[in-house]
Chains A and B, each alone.
Chain A
């Protein structure tokens, strides 16, 4: 059987389930009594097990199976959650994650889980009655059996309750004609007719399968309604190409007959949910009994009320990337067309081009939005990480996440994870004090680390703030001098902020002890360079005894930027507009030389002059012969510099392209772009011009 096409679905869903397991386990740890959460966890675990078994990952399935057994006892109230059980379950989750990761990397997902399985078994046997132990594998064992028309407890109780409150319950079997062309459409019409008069409790095959025509000729539903049988028969019978409709009225006794089968049901239900994919996210707990529709039924009848599940599809990132590439081609043509239009000067042409520019502007927004991902995809692993960290350090730490829905470009999201891990570890390890110290300082035992994300202008900010001991500046200075990061002389001239920034200096670490969590002194400078390579910026503020705040500023997108195009003899270069303060011109006699550096007076302060021609070894231009030279004033942090150039061409939206992997380590150039005439222009990295 061809498994590859299902592999990506498996991986995506397995990750989703693992994430939901992690989150809910954390929630459960906070409120161990909440059986509702256990149910959610159980369903996730169960689905995961079914999926793994189907895909042939035996170890994954067997470990999940054991975890599920433990959870089964818990949800049936036969076992109370306790610290060791949590730890074992978390260990199990880690193992599962590692296995799924192995599968992602093309491995077989095999791993020695005997130890964990044994421990889980011990929990089941040791702390629960033998009867429960024997009973629990039952739902699991039936996972593989074909899910037929079985109802779970919930659906049964819905049916029973509706009977009591005067509704009628039916088991309806619908057969479509053999020559029916659009079975799914007919089935939909039947559902539609049914939904108008009552509610479908359950259908077989699932609604998804029916929608995709994955049924032979007949399908059946459990249905509750107040309408009488004849009307229903008439309504459903009106749908053309339906061969027969068989209605069986259900009463309490027939319901009771269905009941024994219910043992089977969580399994079949979970298996079906796998097919239902995003719509039936197990994270979404079953709706309270008011809404009797299954999530699947809700999807089939969007008009039928409360359809809240967002309709999404999964798209290969590569496709998005090629869409982006094609779009940037279009953008290049647009710029070219605009040039031509200004040359040709024909009104109708100009109008068309202007209209096209507007449309492509909208298109650009949509294409860019497509690539936006909520930072939650990165943030969601941190609660678990902080929990484990705090435990291993014997600290109590709360992680408060806000703004997880803030969106960022995918490329940024992919890269930002590691730096954030580092900063959060740093906050938990070095920021938040041990419990005793906190008590002495009159602070609550539990430290708090805030992780915030928010939009501001064209940037996204991510802040990590702890209420710990703060940065001990004298000690930072002492260490920096000792490590040779700076001299004692310069140390005296530094402002508080500059001292804080020393934390990001290469080869710097203030931790007295080197722990395995952070403090190898290789961390923060890597964080800084990574963030800067993303076009971002990191800063830190701190009050001693109160806490420390790291603030990361990131660009919204890395793909399209506004730039200033300049000419240097026959060559063209682009400067990101974000770093340009002003364009101006400078007369030769205004350039002064101080200590061998050329400076120019700019708004009452002297700023250094950088000759772009010299930096790029321009073959056919030098500003030396000119009386008056154009200059760009650029900014890095609070430092300014004047860049001498030949001529300004103008502002333009440019599409960032990399120079490819072959040309790396050219610090002066951050990328390239393709101009309207098809030529490549290099994008200068202003940060490399200011030392």
Chain B
């Protein structure tokens, strides 16, 4: 029996991605971000989310896609998973879709420039719409960040 999965759809470099609704706390418009020194480049800093300080990362930077200036459509998706609360900057976030679990296939090696290990699957929605589902545990993986940090601190 196929289960129905509710996902929030957002765009990143013209591709559509999805994160399960229950992992998402809120979606915010861009707010001033306070830079935090000595962090990887994709960590944009921290924001004040109604009294709670939340770190924000640029998903484009996280996936190694070229970073762009935020636009009117840019959003910060506050994700709460694996005991972590992190904001993702995305190009836009504008839809919630129901995805049937049997419509999800394993991701190919690279989709839209994003490595497969960050993805949990690709869902086909409707006739010709592909939704890339994120593997949050990997996206939020900190050990990789530490490696990146060490890499970054080398001269």
Residues on A facing B (Cβ under 8 Å)? 325-326, 328-329, 332, 571, 615-617, 619, 657-666, 668-669, 672, 674, 678-682
Contacts and interface: CB of A to CB of B under 8 A. Distances in A.
A669 B37 CA distance: 8
A682 B33 CA distance: 12
Given A571-B34, A672-B34, A681-B34, A663 B39 contact: yes
Interchain residue pairs A-B with the least CB separation, the first 6: A616-B37, A680-B34, A657-B53, A672-B53, A329-B51, A662-B55
Interface string B132-152: 000000001010001001000
Nearest to A326: B51
A325 B49 CA distance: 12
Contact of B55 (A326, A659, A678): A659
The interface centre, meaning the residue of A571, A674, A681 with most chain B CB atoms within 10 A of its CB, is: A674
Which residue, A617, A663, A664, has most C-beta atoms of chain B within 10 A?
A663
Given A661-B85, A662-B142, A663-B39, 11 more contacts: A332-B51, A615-B37, A616-B38, A660-B86, A661-B84, A669-B37, A672-B46, A674-B48, A674-B51, A679-B32, A680-B34
A329 B53 CA distance: 12
A571 B43 CA distance: 17
27 contacts: A326-B51, A329-B50, A571-B34, A616-B38, A617-B38, A657-B52, A658-B53, A659-B53, A660-B54, A660-B84, A660-B86, A661-B84, A662-B55, A663-B55, A664-B142, A665-B146, A666-B36, A668-B37, A669-B37, A672-B34, A674-B53, A680-B46, A680-B47, A680-B53, A681-B34, A682-B34, A682-B46
Nearest to A665: B146
A637 B14 CA distance: 55
Contacts of A658: 53
A662 B48 contact: no
A668 B38 contact: yes
B84 A662 contact: yes
B69 interface: no
B35 interface: yes
A672 B48 CA distance: 10
A674 B54 CA distance: 11
B83 interface: yes
A669 B84 contact: no
Q: Which of A332, A660, A668, A680 has the most CB of B within 10 A?
A: A680
A70 B149 CA distance: 62
Nearest to B43: A663
A678 B140 CA distance: 26
A675 to B, nearest CB: 9
Contacts of A571: 34-35
A666 B55 contact: no
B10 to A, nearest CB: 19
Nearest to A673: B53
Nearest to A674: B48
Contacts of A332: 51
A204 B58 CA distance: 67
A473 B115 CA distance: 57
A681 B37 CA distance: 12
Contact of A678 (B39, B48, B149): B48
Nearest to A661: B84
Given A662-B142, A663-B43, A669 B55 contact: no
Nearest to A675: B48
B140 A679 contact: no
A679 B34 contact: yes
Contacts of B38: 616-617, 666, 668-669
B88 to A, nearest CB: 11
Given A662-B55, A663-B55, A665-B146, A617 B37 contact: yes
Interface string B90-125: 000000000000000000000000000000000000
Contacts of B45: 680
Nearest to A664: B142
A329 B34 CA distance: 18
A660 B49 CA distance: 12
Contacts of A657: 52-53
A659 B46 contact: yes
Contact of A663 (B32, B46, B48, B83): B46
A119 B39 CA distance: 59
Contact of A679 (B48, B50, B55, B146): B48
A669 B53 contact: no
A257 B146 CA distance: 78
A616 B47 CA distance: 18
Nearest to B33: A680
A659 B54 CA distance: 7
Nearest to B149: A665
A661 B46 contact: no
A662 B137 CA distance: 12
Given A657-B53, A660-B55, A666 B39 contact: yes
Contacts of A329: 50-51
Nearest to A677: B32
B119 to A, nearest CB: 20
Contacts of A664: 142
B62 to A, nearest CB: 12
Given A662-B140, A669-B37, A325 B86 contact: no
Contacts of B51: 325-326, 328-329, 332, 674
Contacts of A659: 36, 46, 53, 55
Interface in B41-88: 43, 45-48, 50-55, 83-86
B53 A660 contact: yes
A657 B54 CA distance: 10
B52 to A, nearest CB: 7
Contacts of A665: 146, 149
